[in-house]
Chain A
Amino acid sequence: MEILVCVKRVPDTAENEIEINSEGNDIERDDLVYSVNEWDNYAVEEAIQIVDKVGGSVTVATVGDEESEEVLRREMAMGAQNGLLLTDDAFEGADGKGIASILTAAVKKGNYDLILTGAQADDGAAEVGGMMAAMLDVPYASLVNTIEVQDGKLKIGREVEGGNQDMYEVEMPCVLSIQTGINEPRYVGIRGIRKVASVEIPEQGASDLGIDASNVGGDAAKVKRIDYFVPEMGEGAEMLEGSTEEIIEKLVEYLKAKGGLK
């Protein structure tokens, strides 16, 4: 089975507050470190596990600049056989649909049975997978938390409310967006990354993919992020004062308003 996994390089923001830069048009990136989007990492692990079982190969692709190569290498160190860097100045400023168009063009140039994406990214909109499926006119499922290969079809589970799981049988090719927890991604150490450090990662731009650059870049984007801002936040908690009865009354009001009572 040939599997393409679409991954994204994102700032690793765990444990550190995000600050907005002085212009307000971006987050403060000076002290940020980047890594592969957590959901994508699960997707790559899943792809590797499927290929381990039924054979085939895993290709990881990303749309980005030279720096995005680092996440491709990390995923290749996990066990993906091929990397594919989709890079072009014309891709700058692409919106979700633009990214989906670029990736779709890459899919069409290959011969993939299964396309995986992460269900969402910290700085994303959980949209690229579904858009790609529509562009490719293939089945799609989001929030996938189990995949089983059965007689050329996939039996998958989707995570839905209440911890329940909807099971489907899906024909291939298809696009699935992967939810965290579907597996336990393997650890990639420095040693693993060094092993693939010299592997050539092909780069493809708009002309390689046969797409009209003006249709996918910033100019074509119909959805634009204008700025970043920090939502109003008080200094610590509002401390409820008064007699116990009064406090309880106020607390119950809050609980009602915030959906804390059923």
Chain B
Amino acid sequence: MADIFAYIEHNQGVVDDTALELLAAAKKIFPDAPVTAIVMGSGGDVDKVANEMTASYNAVWKVDNAAFSFPDAEAARKALVNILPGDCVLLLPHAHFGMDLSPGLSIKLDSVFLSDVVDSEGLDGNTLKVIRQEFSGQVSTHVHADISNGAVINVRPGVFQPDESKAGGGDVVDKSGDIGDVSVKRKYLETVQAEAGEVDITKSEVLVSVGRGVEEEDNIEMMFDLAEAMGADVSCSRPIVDAKWLEKARQVGTSGQTVKPKVYMALGISGSFQHMGGVKGNPFIIAINKNPKAPIFQMADVGVEANILEFVPELTEKIKEL
């Protein structure tokens, strides 16, 4: 049985949600195998994260090096090639870091790469059976991979329920000395922060989207209250921008922004295809509309037939109580 690893993403000592999702994914694929967490970073953050991971993982490898004060996939790849055993399986979140790191790592390890995995049907000999999605999630595929030489698996964040069992109890092993030369030809300069005050709804994970059902400009505030309580951003449909109640940057649709949230709450939006054309990535759609025949209900996962002007304040209240 190959050694199983999970790459733990963290941001200045704060562990990413995917840390325990990867554990769940690993256990689904290899039910009885021990899983080792890999924590890379620089300074005290590494120890903090590594220690935190010992509760869940069977072992934790930490790499403490100034090169990883910023998560640099190029350097990480070089280090991983040196410390990982042959034929191992490494799981990572399929996000901007994993996308940068993994394809090349699989080549360097001479193993297979599985991208954006959403589910697993387990192992059959050396054949790993996973499920992926294509065409923006419109269709799914069964993918079989020969992992006899190991595998790098990018797991879609948010699809596996985090493994909160804390059944790890492993030790921290310092691998900092084994990483070898991690100098790279791609030098990190800086991170440019998104402009403050301006919301980029294309990056939002949760959107409270306002449509014509809001009726009057004064009611927009009510929707912001809900969004704030949920930790969401506010987007809208075309008529709201036309009425100049919200700025153009918040408009979802073919003539506006294309958004890829996890949750899309459509408030008083009928759901024209021009509008829904801007909603991609198969989010969980909640529709609230007073018209039971509104097409949005055909596209939504959950629907509520209600006047948003009456329903939303009550919902906001409830969420604030949580």
Contact = CB atoms under 8 A, between A and B. Distances in A.
Interface of A: 11, 13-15, 17-18, 20, 27, 96-97, 100, 119, 122-123, 125-131, 133-135, 138-143, 155, 157-171, 174, 222-231, 234, 236-240, 244, 247-249, 251-252, 254-255, 258-262
Interface in B192-215: 192-194, 200, 202-203, 205-206
Given A170-B187, A223-B113, A255-B263, 4 more contacts: A122-B134, A130-B107, A251-B286, A260-B263
Contacts of A262: 206, 230-232
Interface residues of B, number: 81
Nearest to A225: B141
**Interface core residue of A123, A160, A169 (most chain B CB under 10 Å):** A160
B186 A174 contact: yes
Nearest to B97: A160
Contact of B190 (A135, A139, A167, A237): A167
A222 B143 CA distance: 10
Interface stretch (B28-36, B47-55, B163-171, B298-306): B298-306
Given A165-B192, A224-B143, A259-B262, A236 B303 contact: yes
Given A162-B203, A224-B145, A228-B139, A143 B303 contact: no
7 contacts: A20-B139, A163-B194, A169-B187, A222-B149, A224-B145, A240-B304, A248-B311
A102 to B, nearest CB: 14
A236 B301 CA distance: 7
A160 B322 CA distance: 31
Contacts of B190: 166-167
The B contact surface, by secondary structure, is mixed
Given A18-B138, A130-B104, A125 B116 contact: yes
Contacts of A157: 192
Given A158-B96, A225-B143, A258 B284 contact: yes
A17 B303 contact: no
A260 B137 CA distance: 19
Given A125-B115, A258-B263, A134 B286 contact: no
B320 to A, nearest CB: 11
Contacts of B263: 255, 258-260
A142 B139 CA distance: 25
B141 A228 contact: yes
B74 interface: yes
A130 B141 contact: no
A62 B134 CA distance: 20
Contact of A155 (B137, B189, B194, B230): B189
B300 A260 contact: no
Contacts of B74: 139-140
B113 A127 contact: yes
B201 to A, nearest CB: 10
B132 interface: yes
Nearest to A257: B284
B189 A160 contact: no
B291 to A, nearest CB: 13
Interface in B270-308: 273, 277, 284-287, 292, 297-306
B106 interface: yes
Contacts of B217: none
Contacts of B184: 139
Contacts of A229: 139-142
A144 to B, nearest CB: 10
Contacts of A223: 112-114, 143-146
B301 A228 contact: no
B85 interface: no
Nearest to A163: B194
Given A122-B136, A258-B262, A261-B319, A171 B145 contact: no
Nearest to A143: B96
Contacts of A164: 191-194
A64 B114 CA distance: 22
A165 B304 CA distance: 38
B191 A222 contact: no
Given A142-B100, A163-B200, A247 B304 contact: yes
Contacts of A123: 134-135
**Interface core residue of A127, A129, A244, A261 (most chain B CB under 10 Å):** A127
A254 B286 contact: yes
A13 B314 contact: no
A128 B305 CA distance: 46
B132 to A, nearest CB: 7
B99 A142 contact: yes
A15 B139 contact: no
Nearest to A247: B304
A222 B104 contact: no
